[in-house]
């Protein structure tokens, strides 16, 4: 008997408790970073999402697209400027942002999921007024902060067997302006409105690291706040952890910050005892039931 076949069968058997635990669960996945520009990584991500749907989960994909936006702006001779890590979005820039996110990037992800055997539908935060925003900061121009979420369209799609793929472009409260929304912020707002079981923030680092550079696998919100205050969490990890804390406040059961460059990162997190990256949750870990990661006691 081929040893690889035996190992595959054993892996599937060991995943059973996780498949049962996540049946019917809503999992919002923020996809972005370098993996978006790599065809193989895109295909692997798409297969993971299709598998999640196939085993009874309700995956919802929200994506970014910063590198692609920068590339097209450069070709058009439009300068990219950032304030505190966020893109300054002028009226001219927001048109390019919407074209890239709702068009090029969104449809590329949709096609990858469809090629993997899924049924993906691409939408943006403007569809059915799903995400309504106000200006986040006058200095940033047309960068939005979600203030009203209407997520019935997402529920309708996944209830019909579809996989929603959402571009973080939103409608304004006044004059129907178009707003660019940070991908992590959008994913957090969507997860909160859906009261998702999990929000997975795929990034280009292994997770939240402590003072010695080691990844912290489980965190309580109080620990996160303390690490931000003391400077252990810094730079680009601050907005990600702040998104996680806001999502927990809005009703998301747990948030995981993990490395999207790792093959099958979503499956490692959801279907193995060790998990992947840093899990942030409001409840303290309890005694681990057989077959589940510490603190995962069911829905």
Q: Which pLDDT tens digit goes with each residue over 156-168?
A: 999 999 999 999 9
Residue 87 pLDDT? 77
List the chain domain ranges.
Answer: 22-280
- Chain centre to alpha carbon of residue 259: 11
- The residues that bridge with 172 in the sheet, in sequence order, are 133
Helices 91-98 & 66-75, crossing angle to 10 degrees? 120
**pLDDT tens across 60-115, in order?**
999 998 888 888 888 888 887 877 667 788 888 899 999 999 999 999 999 999 99
Query: Band of the pLDDT at 291, cuts 50, 70, 90?
Result: very low
Phi first, then psi, for residue 24 (nearest 5°) are: 85, -5
Q: How far are the Cα atoms of 87, 88, 137, 142 from residue 147, in angstroms, in the given order?
A: 20, 20, 14, 15
Measure the CA–CA gap between 205 and 130, rounded to whole angstroms. Answer: 30
**First CA to last CA distance, the chain:** 38
Residue 212: how many other CB atoms lie within 10 Å: 6
Residues 6+ apart with CB under 8 A from 11: none
Alpha carbons 295 and 285: distance in angstroms, whole number = 4
Residue 272's pLDDT is what? 81
Please state, as a whole number, how many other Cβ atoms lie within 10 Å of the Cβ of residue 228. 16
Query: Taking the CA of residue 219 as centre, how many other CA atoms within 13 Å lie in the half-sphere pointing to its CB?
Result: 27
Q: In residues, how long is the chain?
A: 299
Residue 284 binned pLDDT confidence (cut-offs 50, 70, 90): low
Lowest mean pLDDT among 73-77, 81-85, 135-139, 251-255: 81-85
Binding residues are 65-66, 87, 180
Q: What is the mean pLDDT of the chain?
A: 87
Lowest mean pLDDT across 147-151, 237-241, 268-272 = 268-272
Whole-number pLDDT of residue 299? 46
Q: Does domain 22-280 correspond to CATH entry 3.40.1160.10? A: yes
What's the Cα-to-Cα distance from 47 to each of 41, 57, 109, 180, rounded to whole Å? 10, 14, 11, 28
Asked if residue 50 has pLDDT above 50, the reply is yes
The pLDDT tens digits of the residues spanning 6-22 come to 666 676 667 777 777 88
List binding-site positions for substrate: 65-66, 87, 180
């Amino acid at each position: 008997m081929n040893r690889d076949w035996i190992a595959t069968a054993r892996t599937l058997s060991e995943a059973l408790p996780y498949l049962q635990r996540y049946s019917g669960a809503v999992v919002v996945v923020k996809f972005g970073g370098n993996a978006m520009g790599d065809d193989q990584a895109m295909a692997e991500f798409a297969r993971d999402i299709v598998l999640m749907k196939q085993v009874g989960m309700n995956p919802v994909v929200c994506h970014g697209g910063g590198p692609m936006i920068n590339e097209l702006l450069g070709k058009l001779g439009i300068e990219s400027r950032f304030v505190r890590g966020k893109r300054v979005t002028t009226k001219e820039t927001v048109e390019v942002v919407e074209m890239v996110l709702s068009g090029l990037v969104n449809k590329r992800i949709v096609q990858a999921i469809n090629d993997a055997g899924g049924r993906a539908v691409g939408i943006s935060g403007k569809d059915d007024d799903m995400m309504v925003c106000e200006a986040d900061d006058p200095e940033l121009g047309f960068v939005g902060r979600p203030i009203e979420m209407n997520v019935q369209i997402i529920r309708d799609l996944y209830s019909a067997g579809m996989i929603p793929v959402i571009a973080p472009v939103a409608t304004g409260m006044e004059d129907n302006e178009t707003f660019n929304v940070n991908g992590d912020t959008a994913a957090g707002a969507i997860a909160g409105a859906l009261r998702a079981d999990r929000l997975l923030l795929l990034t280009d680092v292994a997770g939240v690291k402590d003072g010695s550079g080691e990844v912290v696998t489980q965190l309580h919100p109080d620990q996160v706040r303390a690490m931000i205050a003391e400077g252990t969490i810094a730079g680009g990890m601050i907005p990600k952890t702040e998104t996680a804390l806001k999502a927990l406040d809005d009703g998301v059961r747990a948030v995981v910050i993990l490395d999207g460059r790792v093959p099958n990162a979503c499956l490692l997190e959801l279907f193995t005892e060790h998990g992947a990256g840093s899990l942030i949750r409001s409840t303290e870990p309890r005694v681990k039931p057989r077959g589940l990661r510490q603190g995962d006691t069911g829905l």
